[in-house]
Structure 1
Amino acid sequence: MPPPTETAATPIPAGRKLFVGARLRRLREQRALSQQQLAQRLGLSLSYVSQIENDQRPVTAAVQLKLAEVFGAEAAQFAEHEQHRLLAELDGALNDRRLLATPVPAPQLARMVAQAPELVQAFLELHQRHLRLQEEHAQTIDRFYGELGGDHLRGPIAPPPHEAVREHFNRLENYVDALDRAAEDLAMRLDLQPGQRAAALRALLQQQCGIEVVATPAMGADGSLRRYERARRRLHVPARLSDAQQAYQMATQYALVACREAIDTVVAAASFADADTRALAVQGLAHYFAGALMLPYRAFLAQARAVRYDIELLAQQFQVSFETVCHRLSTLQRPGERGVPVYFVRVDQAGNISKRQSATAFHFARHGGACPLWQVHEAFTQPGRILTQVAEMPDGTRFFGIARTIERGGGGYQARRKLFAVGLGCELAHAHALVYADGLNLAAPQPVVPIGPGCRVCPRADCVQRAFPPAGKPLVVESDSESLVSYRFAGGSVT
């Protein structure tokens, strides 16, 4: 039986209509197109386009594909999962009783997202800065004054550089077309083969960039993986690394030198606020190029479909790590050649999220840690095993996900090691494409675990794992009764 295939764009579930009038009109006007010109490019009638712009007609999956062809990456804002994400985040922010005394009705929230997505995004950015300021304020007081309190201290309101870069990548749906295609073209030109990449890239750096690659026995106590001597044009890479690891470091350095113009163009378009954020973005884009070179888009996507997204098989075939495969799967969002839209996350044993990327409506917590009921945390109790879970978010969206521990570093008894758990998942509608869902009744999966984006923004009132009440919700204290639910609060949802 042939492997299941994915649609080129996230399908619109039966019975649900997607209206994009205001967003389509705005993009059309930004491109200085008339309705007639847009209709011609889409291959539609003028009246059809007019009806869409006036929300008199929803867009179909076929029209979504045509919009993606006309508007490219900007068409991501038409995707239903983007609406879901904005709606979930807006609902969470406006449920903060410190902002509003009464909740905003759901239909009104939906209209705000549909008709003014830029204003919604701006409001969410301001709300996140507000939360970060509060968090930094509290941490500063604790650090300087302990339990004695202290005067109000001022702190920066801009997001930390890594958060700003991460959010920008998410807005791009983790896909950077210019770099991805350049990496794919280079991989084909060099005929890169798993297990034999390092030699080809070493020669490329020498011939095209004048950079000598030196295999270094040891790189210091900090576990350095790459060190470039700019003045001597010499790149040091530890000899103990595998062929794939050495190739990745060489490809990163190649991107920083040979693809710098393309990288700077992407960074300039992002309008980052400070030099540190821009520098971190440059590094992230160089890593993106390296990953795309190691796992060229079309070849990797074809193989992923052939083995039904079996991550361990893909890691063996391309001779890369489990995490590298997961990371690449989360970037397969090329218009017209999309893979299964997935989220990817990496957490440590304390629950800190060090990587998070999503082409789905999955709502990651930005503050206060991830939901403890998410199976990615349980992975630490069963190292090396792949765990599966069907989870439901508070808005009713269901996801199928897997989780497994990974280890980095090592090589000796006293060598430094890093232990993480990685999670990968998709909306339940796409789960049939993943080998890990075999045997699961996707029409009525059991069990379904009710999870949330994180305790600080989760509305579930009956969760026994809640670590603290949601921000801004008034607590309900009942001294005459007690239960497993640690915090009771007004306005929560019971599931």
Structure 2
Amino acid sequence: MRAPIGFRISNRRKNLRISQVSLARSLGISASYLNLIENNKRDIGGALLNRVAAQLLIDIDELAGRTEQKLLQDLEEAFADPVLESLPFRPDERRELVALYPASAGAVSRLHRAYSSAVGNADAYADRLRSDPLLSQLLHQILSGITAIRSSAEILEDVTDLDEAERRQFLAAIGRDSRTLSEVARNLIGQFDISSQIRRSVSPAREIDDLLIERENHFPLLEAVADELRAEIERAGPFGSATLSDLLSRRFGVKVRIGGPPDELDYPGQYRFDPATSLMWFHGATTLATRQFQLARLYGELAAPDAIAASLESATLSTPTARRLASRAVGSYLAGAMVFPYERILADAEACAYDIDHLRQAYHASFEQVAHRLVTLRRPGQQGIAFGFLRSDPAGRLTKHFPLPGLLLPNSGHACPLWAIYGAFRTPDVPLRQVVRFSDGSRYLFLARTVQRRTASFREQVVASSVMLACDVLQADRTVYGAGLDLSDLDADIRVGPSCRLCTRRDCASRQEEALSTTAGQSRTRGPLLPDALALGDPQ
């Protein structure tokens, strides 16, 4: 859209008290043509615009309206907004607004810019809530608490024949729910306050988590490709390390070497692929499960690079590190789908009541590989039990997680110290199960077990991790791990929280950190013996 130069010429001419006929004569054009220019019905530029600027004693940039041109573009964008586009604007309305009321036009532009920024921030917060299960579930707990309080209050208000004992029961429920709601709200505020203060950029690992959460850790394209690759491999022989090694050699020229030193003498890993030499090296101590999985992953990455790239096409990955880690995660997903074909693993899991030890033997896989595959059984209309997944190192730091709707699984740091994922370190290689209850009344079955990387010699340090699956207690009887448990006995539940900083249980003897609430400094159990405001020697 043209800038309203004609209006500016008209206004300037009138301010100088020059008639239209006189200005037209000095410019060497007719008065009627000048009239068309001043009403923005004719374009003006070049030598004529220079002559006009000289006659009106005004800078040509000011007359051409560079600022107004930008303002006009801003208004064009604002008036095209879906909120406004249905209004019956006249064709020249924006140009006239800029020419006749520039301050008002500027105000409209600023308001639209502020509105667009607010919408963008709202979208960003919505994306954060969708991708951050902690914040989402805190809000869900607040809504649940409000609903519970309202329900009890309505009963007290509407039911007139309650006896005194029943009335006291509902009042106690309102008080209890109110206190819990208050604590959850404080934790939510604390979470946002800390995020605002730190303002750290999203880490590559967090971007990978967001990708998996967005896709619900299920990639239909990769599942289909995995079925095709599995069939291709089985046509060459039984699925396993031997057939995979043979196919990698014949199709891609890859040599597989087990044992001996790696090319880099100080290489700390247990396997490595060198594209330059097409060599896949495995440490001599690696397990059969590790070799099978990593060979399947390499075969998938070499045979189906387009499928891996397509799975990441719409992902938000801001750094090369994030893209590299995402490609690794998707490659591992493809390998898992090859080792554990979807329909077969689902049928076998249901048949053995999700007995992971049975499944790992049947598929020559590790405990962690089976557990992670169970989390991905999310195909619409053909779903397994919905599991959450966590992995922790011996220091308690969470190194991998996939959330379960309704269950607060921390993104990083440490979870509740009472969770089975930490207790499993006390009983290595033995599954540990527990029924837990959160402060909002939700109950889950936790199953954890340690996994260790095999060492090659006595001098090597054992590297251990703990992995944990979690499912709603209502699904526990579908698993072998629910057998023998009295799931109706609430007193036997272990009272836990998501993490100390997000837990509302003030009476927990295992608390290691203060809550995120604004009243964290008022703790009676973790505060100083003397109040901060009281100095020794002060009168009491």
Normalising by the residue count of structure 1, what TM-score does the alignment of the two structures yield? 0.65
Once structures 1 and 2 are overlaid, which stretch shifts more, 333-342 or 209-218? Answer: 209-218
Residue 281 of structure 1 corresponds to 326
Q: Give the distance between the partners of 1:213 and 1:106, measured in 2 at CA.
A: 61
- Which of 474, 486, 490 aligns to 2:526? It is 486
Q: 1:288 aligns to what SS in structure 2?
A: helix
1:308 is displaced (CA, Å) by: 0.6
Amino acid at match of 2:251: Q
Q: Give the distance between the partners of 1:200 and 1:432, measured in 2 at CA.
A: 39
Deviations 1:141-170 (A, max 9, x none): xxxxxxxxxxxxxxx732111121023212
Residue 89 of structure 1 corresponds to 138
- Which of 469, 473, 490 aligns to 2:514? It is 469
Counting only pairs closer than 5 Å after superposition, residues 86-125 of structure 1 correspond to structure 2 as 87-90=136-139, 106=146
Q: 1:157 aligns to what SS in structure 2?
A: coil
Q: 1:367 touches 1:456 (CA, 8 Å); kept in 2?
A: no
Residue 184 of structure 1 corresponds to 227
Q: 2:429 touches 2:450 (CA, 8 Å); kept in 1?
A: yes
Q: 1:213 touches 1:235 (CA, 8 Å); kept in 2?
A: yes
- Residues 244 and 477 of structure 1: is their aligned pair in 2 closer, same or farther, counting only changes over 3 Å? closer
- Residues 375 and 200 of structure 1: is their aligned pair in 2 closer, same or farther, counting only changes over 3 Å? same
Deviations 1:416-464 (A, max 9, x none): 4211122112001111111111122223354112211111122222222
Q: Give the distance between the partners of 1:377 and 1:192, measured in 2 at CA.
A: 44
Amino acid at match of 2:219: V
1:472 is displaced (CA, Å) by: 4.0
Amino acid at match of 1:320: A
Q: 2:229 touches 2:300 (CA, 8 Å); kept in 1?
A: no
- Which of 492, 496, 518 aligns to 1:447? It is 492
Residue 205 of structure 1 corresponds to 248
Amino acid at match of 2:253: G
Q: 1:270 aligns to what SS in structure 2?
A: coil
Q: Give the distance between the partners of 2:273 and 2:502, measured in 1 at CA.
A: 43
Counting only pairs closer than 5 Å after superposition, residues 270-349 of structure 1 correspond to structure 2 as 270-349=315-394
- Residues 169 and 213 of structure 1: is their aligned pair in 2 closer, same or farther, counting only changes over 3 Å? same
What is the aligned-residue identity percentage? 28
Residue 468 of structure 2 corresponds to 423
Q: 1:308 touches 1:434 (CA, 8 Å); kept in 2?
A: yes
Deviations 1:148-201 (A, max 9, x none): xxxxxxxx7321111210232122221111112211332233229999611211
Residue 460 of structure 1 corresponds to 505
Q: 1:197 touches 1:244 (CA, 8 Å); kept in 2?
A: no
Residue 456 of structure 2 corresponds to 411
Q: 2:357 aligns to what SS in structure 1?
A: helix
Q: Give the distance between the partners of 1:374 and 1:355, measured in 2 at CA.
A: 16
Amino acid at match of 2:431: I
Residue 166 of structure 1 corresponds to 209
Unaligned runs of 5+ in 1: 1-76, 96-102, 111-123, 136-155, 489-495
Q: 2:464 aligns to what SS in structure 1?
A: strand
Q: Give the distance between the partners of 1:377 and 1:274, measured in 2 at CA.
A: 33
Residue 224 of structure 1 corresponds to 269
Amino acid at match of 1:420: S
Q: 2:301 aligns to what SS in structure 1?
A: helix
Q: 2:257 aligns to what SS in structure 1?
A: strand
1:392 is displaced (CA, Å) by: 1.5
Q: Give the distance between the partners of 1:427 and 1:352, measured in 2 at CA.
A: 24
- Residues 222 and 416 of structure 1: is their aligned pair in 2 closer, same or farther, counting only changes over 3 Å? farther
1:129 is displaced (CA, Å) by: 8.8
Q: Give the distance between the partners of 2:278 and 2:393, measured in 1 at CA.
A: 36
Q: 1:330 touches 1:359 (CA, 8 Å); kept in 2?
A: no
Q: Give the distance between the partners of 2:465 and 2:370, measured in 1 at CA.
A: 15
Residue 407 of structure 2 corresponds to 362
Residue 257 of structure 2 corresponds to 214
**Going by fraction, where is helix more abundant, 1 or 2?**
2
Q: 1:184 aligns to what SS in structure 2?
A: helix
1:287 is displaced (CA, Å) by: 1.1
1:83 is displaced (CA, Å) by: 12
- Are 2:293 and 1:244 equivalent residues in the alignment? no
Q: Give the distance between the partners of 1:448 and 1:125, measured in 2 at CA.
A: 26
Normalising by the residue count of structure 2, what TM-score does the alignment of the two structures yield? 0.60
Aligned length: 361
When Rg is computed on C-alpha atoms for both structures, the one with the higher figure is: 2
Q: 1:195 touches 1:243 (CA, 8 Å); kept in 2?
A: no
Unaligned runs of 5+ in 2: 1-125, 151-186, 529-540
Q: Give the distance between the partners of 1:367 and 1:448, measured in 2 at CA.
A: 25
1:363 is displaced (CA, Å) by: 0.9
Amino acid at match of 1:172: R
Once structures 1 and 2 are overlaid, which stretch shifts more, 277-286 or 238-247? Answer: 238-247
Counting only pairs closer than 5 Å after superposition, residues 370-381 of structure 1 correspond to structure 2 as 370-381=415-426
Q: 2:236 touches 2:243 (CA, 8 Å); kept in 1?
A: no
- Residues 228 and 377 of structure 1: is their aligned pair in 2 closer, same or farther, counting only changes over 3 Å? closer
Higher relative contact order (CA 8 A, sep 6+): 1
